Each structure stands twice: as C-alpha cells, then as structure tokens.
Amino acid sequence: MGKNIVLASGLRTPFGQINKALAKYSSVEMAALVMKTLMEKSGLPKEKVDGVILGEVSQTSKAPNSARVAALKAGLPIGCVAHTVQNNCISGIQAITDAARKIICGEGEVFIAAGVESMSNMLVYVKNARQKYGGNLKAIKNAIADAEFVDCIVEGLTDPISGMNMAESAEMTAQNLEISRDSQDAYALGSFQKSYRAEQEGFYDDVLIPLPELVRDESPYLRETLAADSEKSRKLMKKSPLIIRAMGMSVEDFWKKNNAYMPRDYDPVFEGTVTLFNSCPQSDGAAAVIVASEEAAKRLGLAIHMYLRGWGFAGLHPAYMGITPAQAVPKALTHADLSFDNVDFFEIHEPFAATVLGIFQSGYQNFEMDWKKKYDEGRVNRNGGSLSLGHPLGATGIRLALNAMSEFKKDANSSLAVAAACAGGGIGGAMVFERYR
C-alpha cells in the first residue's frame, strides 16, 4: 500500500438496547462524546486531526452530515474536515478504509474513524406528506387518522430489490443451506456465554466509556441467566418466536413470496428457524478509532496497536446479503498478500446465527476456507459478537476493529486478525490487521 497505516487508540460507549439505557442520547451526542473522550485519553491534540469519517445508517435532517456536527461538538477545529458514510451495516468498516485511502492519497496523516447509531431515535414519518398535505404540519395533524405512517427501522431493514426483510434473508439462508434451528440456537448461546465471560473478565474494560446510564454492554446482562444456566437457556430458546411468524407469515407463505431465490421446493418438514433469540438485538451506541500513518502516529506519541494490512469489499444479490463476508474476506486477504490459514482469529458480525453458519458453508464450498475448523479451534468471535453485544448499525464495524485490538493485547501469540461484516443490499466488507510490534 506504500504507507504503513496503523490503528492507534480506540474507544466505544457501552451498547444499549433499543429504548432502554441510552435512548435519551442522540447519535450526534454519542459520536461527539466518544471522539472527545478518545482524544483526551489518547493524548491526540485536536489540531493534529486532519479529518473525521463517521459511519451512520440513519442520519436525520436535524444533523445533516452528522460527522461534521459531531466533530464540532467534540471540540475539533473549524478547519477539520468531516464527512459521513452510509454503507448499511459495514459503514464502520467503510469509515476505517476511507481514512486509510485518504492517508495513502496524501490528503492527511491522522483521521478519526467513527461509527454510531441510535436506533431508539430512528424516525417514524408520514408517507407522501408533501404531496398529500403540502408539507403543512397543521394539515397533517388534522388528517392524522388518514395519514400513512412508516417506521424507518422496518423500512430500512427491508431490501427494496428483493423485497426481503433482513430476517427473511437470514431465513432464506437457513432454508437454502439447510441450517437447523438447533444449530443456530447453539451458536447464539455460545455467543452469549462468550460475551458474558469476556465482560466478567474485563476484556472490554480498556475500550469502554462508562456512562451514568450504562457502564457495560446492556444485552449480555439482560440475558444473564442464559450464560449461567445452559438447561434453562435451552428451554427459553425453544419458546422464542419465529420472526417470519411474528411478521404474519407462515413458512409456506415465506417460500411462495421468495421462491425466486429458493433452489429447491417447499418442504413442510423443515419449519422456520430464525427466532428473536438467534438474531441480534436492535441497539444504540458509538465507537471511534484513530487511523494514521505509522510515521505520524510515532511523531505524536500515540499508542499504536495494529497495522491495517488490507481490506476488501464484495457484492452478492441482496437476497444473499448475510453470506457476503465469505466473498469479501478472500479479497481482503489477497489485498494483504496473506492466506486464510495465516489468520490467528476472526471478528465476524453476527446479525443472525443463520448468516454466520452460512458464511462457514459458503466460504468452504466456494473458496475452500475452513471456517468451521477455525470456529471449533476457538478462533472466531472469541469474546462474543453482535448476537449478544448488540448491533448499533453504523458502529459495529468499528467495534469489530476494537475487539481485534483488545484480543491482540490479550493473546501475545497472535499476529494476524480479520474483521468482516455483511450489509443490507448485498455488500460485504473485510479488513486484515497485524499486531504492531
């Protein structure tokens, strides 16, 4: 790549559940808080920051270009440029790689790459309000009974090309690859147990910013009994409702709607599999990391943690969005001139247990990459993932990088890591990190 790109210090808020501990914070407030705290703790002078790149899925008109608004609220100089990126759930990965490109192109030496989402504050809007009511707020209020309201979360999580909700896409992966509900539940339970253990052992302490409302990730402790009692967990898992049924669909209806993407006929024996338990929760949170040239980071005395050695993005049909990391990881490894077997551990986004298990299958079938072996060896999401920690959409890509950073500190024998995620629309992104020595 010409210049060595490094990731120095990084921090994040605890991740809160939707409409719970962090609901009062806007996305801009959380992003500003995490950037301000990052500069203070790392010793990075504000005037040395060349720019901010912020990943966010659900910007609002209250803070257009939320990166710029958050940067100024964090106290960065007026001359510090900032822009927001939206690539759905890989927006955080996009922020890091965009910062690296800017450094390589000579547009600066030090950037803050951040990600944020406040799903608690995602809007509900009145459809066609300007056409029907001329945008007149009084007229809209008077016509409230006839107005058509749209939930931005539901709409945003539904792909306009395939017509699938993200949960439907996960169910399609499970149906196509014959991934059982039991295997999904077992994977999800493992994620909860690992994240709970990691939280108890203080794995996340170095990167968390305790807030008055929340000092640690909320989801693992809301389901604390799941991590402590496997037998109770299995009983609760069996009771967890199927998401497609919660959407008012039978399994047969699901097949009829999505038969264009199903390579086999409907099998009434194979029931639905994707449940609230084996799906990630909707969340609030923010994260940020310093991306810099090695030379600049040394000059500024920053604590360097790892090199960014390569990255890659890949696209599949939106219906198959969940398995895109299986395509993106080979591109990232090629960019870094490394092989799958070289990688010591992986940080993979877990929107659904079905999609992670689908990555395992697809990666092996198409690229002979034995993800299942890596998982069985304890090299995939060693400290939990999105299923248990939560998924503030724009922040997850940064969280994956911070997990890698913390794992390098914990495991002195590890040298190489890969972080990857899928995104609605059928895009996958991956990054390759090397321990800084």
Summarised one tens digit per residue, pLDDT across range 274-286 is 999 999 999 999 9
Question: Does pLDDT of 420 surpass 90?
Answer: yes
Per cent of the chain over pLDDT 70 is: 98
What is the pLDDT confidence band of residue 331, given thresholds at 50, 70 and 90?
very high
Integer CA distances (angstroms), 195 to 30, 40, 86, 108, 140, in order: 23, 28, 28, 37, 46
What is the pLDDT confidence band of residue 2, given thresholds at 50, 70 and 90?
low
Question: Does pLDDT of 237 surpass 90?
Answer: no
85-88 own/partner pairs: CB under 8 Å, 24+ apart: 85/53, 85/54, 85/55, 85/56, 86/55, 86/56, 86/57, 86/59, 86/394, 87/55, 87/423, 87/427, 87/429, 88/57, 88/393, 88/423, 88/424, 88/425, 88/427
Q: What is the pLDDT of residue 228?
A: 67
* Distance separating alpha carbons of residues 256 and 408, to the nearest angstrom: 47
What is the pLDDT confidence band of residue 386, given thresholds at 50, 70 and 90?
very high
Q: What is the pLDDT of residue 238?
A: 82
Per cent of the chain over pLDDT 90 is: 79
SS3 165: strand
The two structure tokens encoding residue 166: 């993200």
For 290-304, b/e burial (b = at least 16 CB within 10 A) is bbbbbebbeebebeb
Question: Does pLDDT of 18 surpass 70?
Answer: yes
Q: What is the pLDDT of residue 227?
A: 67
Query: What's the mean pLDDT in 242-257?
Result: 88
Which of 125-129, 196-200, 375-379 tops mean pLDDT? 375-379
> Which region holds residue 165: left if phi is over 0, alpha if psi is between -120 and 50, else beta?
beta
* Distance separating alpha carbons of residues 39 and 16, to the nearest angstrom: 23
380 or 137: which leads in pLDDT: 380
Which range (54-58, 105-109, 130-134) has the least confidence? 130-134
Query: What's the mean pLDDT in 194-222?
Result: 93
Q: What is the pLDDT of residue 334?
A: 97
Question: Does pLDDT of 230 surpass 80?
Answer: no
CB 258 within 8 A of CB 247: no
Q: What is the pLDDT of residue 391?
A: 97
Q: What is the pLDDT of residue 1?
A: 55
> Which region holds residue 281: left if phi is over 0, alpha if psi is between -120 and 50, else beta?
beta
Q: What is the pLDDT of residue 269?
A: 65
Sign of torsion, CA 23 24 29 34? negative
Question: Does pLDDT of 39 surpass 70?
Answer: yes
* Distance separating alpha carbons of residues 263 and 155, to the nearest angstrom: 27
Question: Does pLDDT of 234 surpass 90?
Answer: no
Which of 59-68, 83-92, 192-201, 252-261 tops mean pLDDT? 83-92
Which range (217-221, 280-284, 408-412) has the least confidence? 217-221
Indicate the average pLDDT of the chain.
93
Comparing CA positions, the residue from 405, 390, 321, 325 lying closest to residue 113 is: 405
Q: What is the pLDDT of residue 268?
A: 66
67 or 245: which leads in pLDDT: 67
The two structure tokens encoding residue 338: 């490394």
Q: What is the pLDDT of residue 229?
A: 67
CA 96 from centroid of its chain's CA atoms: 13
Query: What's the mean pLDDT in 56-84?
Result: 96
Q: Which amino acid is at 413?
A: N
114 or 261: which leads in pLDDT: 114
Comparing CA positions, the residue from 9, 97, 94, 84 lying closest to residue 54 is: 84
Question: Does pLDDT of 135 surpass 90?
Answer: no
What is the pLDDT confidence band of residue 82, given thresholds at 50, 70 and 90?
very high
Q: What is the pLDDT of residue 433?
A: 98
Q: What is the pLDDT of residue 137?
A: 85
75 or 263: which leads in pLDDT: 75
Question: Does pLDDT of 12 surpass 70?
Answer: yes
